A and B are shown apart, each in its own frame.
Chain A
Amino acid sequence: MVVFDKPHALADVPLHYCPGCTHGIVHRLVAEVLDELGIEGKAIGVAPVGCSVMAYDYFNCDMIEAAHGRAPAVATGVKRADPDEHIVFTYQGDGDLASIGMAETVHAAARNENITIIFINNAIYGMTGGQMAPTSLPNQVTQTSPYGRDVKACGFPIRVCELLSELDGPEYLERVTVNNVKNIRNAKKAIKKAFQNQIDKKGFSLIEVLSSCPTNWGMTPQKALEWIDEKMIPYYPLGVYKDRSAKEEK
């Protein structure tokens, strides 16, 4: 009896991610949801620029590689091309979504574009070797903030869920993490809901996943998962920031 199998939507290829990186977990959760909702054949994913740039090789559904930060605009085009048939998701990191692509993110949310966004927040630019991200914490040491992020010079981190929650547009915003089994189960539930919302034509759903980057944080994988609890969650509290349908049902 098979009790644990690879999701069909996840390609059977080696992932290039560093040891201890949580991209692999989140990829798997997305693939499990595509399987469970039976939507792999309708799904079109949009990969970002950053560590997950090659996500187009890792999902078995149709995939598009977008320019840096432009995934929500590309996804808008794909969704509008056939709103009844296409299930469209983007998978983006913090530099992609919250820095160079902030305008595309905010406006897709404001339009309540009926797409699903998986937002990986690991507080650093991974692919280019560990530079300061729009979500790097105050005093966080990175390659481009070698003395720690000085908020007087570089400004403060951006809390994406809180920022978008002020808009009337978006349907669903939740921040989760994947640093332990309980949190992974919560993350899966949120991701599933974000896709179900799209199937139900409810509109824009964004799941922010607090993720680890042991390589660029300079930590062991275990220490990196602890750092999420110790440093990231206090600045980026987990929880549902918007759930319009639930609110309306009350």
Chain B
Amino acid sequence: MSERITKEKQAEAQRLLEAAPATHLPAVSPRLLPEVPALTPEVNKQTPAVGQRVSRVDIRSHVTGATRYIDDLSFPGMLHCRILRSAHAHAKILSIDVGEARKMPGVVATLTGDEIPVNSFGSTYQDQPVLAADRVRYRGDGIVAIAAETEQQALEALAAVKVEYEPLPAVFDPLQAMEPDAPKIHRNSNVYTSKVIMRGDVEKGFEQSDRIFERRYTTQMIEHVPLEPFASIALWEPDGQLHLYSSNGRITLGRADLARTLGLPMNRIRLTATIIGGNFGGKNEIRTEPILALLAGKTGRPVKAVFTREEEFIASTTRHPLVMDYKTGVTSDGRLLARSVNLVLDGGAYASWSETTVGKASILAAGPYRIPNVRVEGHAVYTNKTVTGAMRGFGAPQVAFAYESQMDEIAHSLGMDPLEIRLLNGFEEGSASHTGQLLQAVALKDTLLMAAKRSGWMEGGR
């Protein structure tokens, strides 16, 4: 039997080959192919293992299209969920009416925030509702979730939901949000997390400096753009365990958040993430999981939700925009004596990973340089914009843009080579960081010299 199939396959491949030009690489052709690794991994290959260019364990399934991401899974009777998002950046919710939506074709269940046992989550402060119940703080806040037989039916039913709002004054600029009379988004102050790093006496350092350089740097809001939009499926196993399949990069802590929002013990929740189609920090929190769990409980059927590309932009987190004021004092021969930095992070509507981001940005803000006098102050501020959270680098890319732009300006202004000023001031083995940490395995100057050599920097490049 198998032999017959193989012969048929070969004959088919032969036919395709003959029909195609000689250079054509056909879709189905075992014959002309070069030698290819066996489909089961060869065990007992070389040791040691560390330092080897070992192939990725998942590369075979990636190139054959066999990798199963969450949206590639489906279960019998599975429903599809879509979420209605806020029409306002800041408003009170006066009423939510899902009566008409429930009557729409294919609709099986709806869910609102007041039905969620503990309707809040967040990695540091639990200030974000799973579904907004009484107030919306940005346009991405979800309000009503609908589970229907098809995604299209769920989408159409969203239009039948009636939400009555009382708009509130909103603030979009983080500096304006710090003003005393700015609209308050959560509490008495919109500044919700701060960090200070102090070493030496920065004012004295400026006095001793020959030259002072000052500039404000700003950066933009950025989306992670993982190619796989966030996806999640909830189902209740026959033994009463809640099983969530989710593109969540932190399953252990995701399970803890689920246990908290749903009021379930951890061992009654199983979170499976399969392989995730890109994270970059945007898939490090729960999003739709508690909603799907409750809808699956209500309906007794598996429920899936996949973010549209638009939801990936408006309802996931983004990179913090920063306003960064840098002031640096140097000697005329290019030694850094003092640097003061003031950072304001646009935190968006909820805290998410802002505390971590303020911390990393502040600790790293003065750059990898030996500076006797440093003062850094960082603040994260609520605005009525898309939530900013974890994204590749946690504030480091923003401050590096500032400190390295200023280093370049200082070098040019003093007539020094930009490489030279970095080698003169850069951290070395045993240098103390700006938090007083003695550094080890410091390869900064090795990287400077290696990149310079590779690019032909000393020869003038170009």
A binds B: no
